[in-house]
Structure 1
Amino acid sequence: MAKPGGKGNLAPIVVKRIEEGEHGHHGGAWKIAYADFVTAMMAFFLLMWLVNATTEAQRRGIADYFAQPNDLARGPSGSGQPFGGRSLYSDGPLISDAPLVPMMRTAQPGLDSEEEEEGPEIRLPRPSARQQTPPAQAVPEGDAMADAARRAGELEAALRGSDNAARRGSVDNEALRRAAEAARQELLTRAAEEIRQAVRNDPALASLGRQLIVEEVAEGLRIQLVDAEGQPVFETGRAAPNERGRALLLRVAQVLARLPHPIEVTGHTDAAPFRGGGERSNWDLSAERANATRRLLVDAGVTDRRMRSVSGRAERELLVPANPLDAANRRVAVLMLLPAQGGTAP
């Protein structure tokens, strides 16, 4: 038997070692993302402030400062150097005032009929900041007539921009001129057909189609609303159109509102003297009818700033000269102006 305090009564010593893993991340990564977001917002608002606080000349100077210099391609070079003279590029950040030479695309085998009917593809020059002018009214997206108007406007602008280069003999813009004329003709055709179709599709106006004259003229597209025997557009001696006339003008306005071109409105009467009494005459009546037509077009969505002129011609320009009292002489004409052939505005 072991004695107390002897070696055999010693209790075993147990040493516990607890191995703890690494603590998980305490979620501080969001601070980095937040800091990036705040920095981006600060840069954005600083940019917006700079855009509004600087002039066009100052912004161009800043852009020139950061633009990569290329003395070989953009600067003047002396005789015997690779370019042998000054390049076509002007000072600025990768903007050229010189128009590009039109590139014609020929049909390739294997293309379907839609691609072949698109016609020649014209490379348009990118206008410089001083050449860009805001359009009178934005052309909406999404329909063939608006696309035709946009293409015609781009080609006319490109043609005007290439006139100087053509006079210097450095650019042959004959192909561009043909393309601009084709685009102008396409726009006229589409706009005229849409106006006629809008009247045909309205059962209440189907019988009035002969009182709507849509024709392509040198100045652009002319739409005339004419009286007929027993079916007047304006009541006798009245300036405002009647219900029939308002319905026709509304269909015309719905098409014109989708285009950006300036408009002239002209009123006409027949040769019968004005019977309203007082000092008013056919001059007053025709001018008042033209202005009433302008108001109706504006109310229907055509912007007033597109109105180039509103005038009355009395009986000075008869539609049927052989019969000055013919009902068709009583009419209003709405002329949508397009640049004349060759890119010169009418």
Structure 2
Amino acid sequence: MSELRQVIIVRRKKKGGHGHHGGAWKVAYADFVTAMMAFFLVMWLVGAGTKQQRAAISEYFKNPSLTQGQSTMAPSGKMGPGGASTSMIKLGGAMDLPKGPGDQQAFAKPATAADVDKLAKEKEHRRLEQLMKDLSEAIAKSQAMAPYKDQLLLDITSEGLRIQIVDKQNRPMFDTGSGALKSYTVQILHELAGFINQVPNQISISGHTDNAPYIRADSAYGNWELSADRANAARRTLVDGGMSPEKVARVVGLAASVPFDKTNPSAPINRRISIVVMTHEAAKAAMSPEVAGNDADASPQAPSSTAQMTHVRSMNPPAAPAPSSPAMTAMTPAQAPR
């Protein structure tokens, strides 16, 4: 009898690789890479920035809000009182939000006519100050003008830049009792003409005398007529020196009504020619039939709060000052009337 062998069959189950885990790991990996990039970017900014920039960044994260809010801890900062903002969020987009204090004002209200006028006045004032600076430097460097530096006075008044050419003892600007200019006065006015022509402003010219009565054969002719003739002579000389005739808005003679030195009405400094490079507003008033400009408002004895006097001095020591005129130390009174 043949031996029966039992056949044992072993069934092995084949495993088909890893199971499906989904794509969640990709999202996590992307977040990790993004975080690392941000970290290295922050580290680079911290390393590359200055101390002030790092302080500004730190301040921003402490206090990012520009408007006052409520918070249990409100750190102080330059950009605002701190805390979470309680203002309503604008839904119109980022363009609706101001980016700084200046922009916040710009969004609050548009520029008005008053703002434009204020900016124009400030620009004009800077232009006149620059003209005064240039003129002062030119006079200081000019050898031809050196002997007459103490007779040129520059200052800013409410009307504009005032250039005054004053008499000095033994050196008058005009012939005695006449409107005829001295040769050096003509030279001074020719030098000034070029500078005055640099700006578009119009000018006012006024003549002044001392209080000495002037009487000649023609009794109708006095200090009023003399001061007006001298102012007009200065106008003609400026035009001859190259100044545009259209720049002249006013020529007046004021006799002794506006003395420079009120305590000594006969002082030589009272005999002067005043040239004012006027502001737009002053020129408009001067040419208006309703408003008459008054040179007394710009009297050297009562300058405006913004007036800054520049006295161009000569290289020689000045004469003893008059007690009542400390700003004009180079002037001494003369007894002879002009």
TM-score for the superposition, normalised by structure 1: 0.47
Q: Rg: which structure is higher?
A: 2
Higher RCO (C-alpha 8 Å, min separation 6): 2
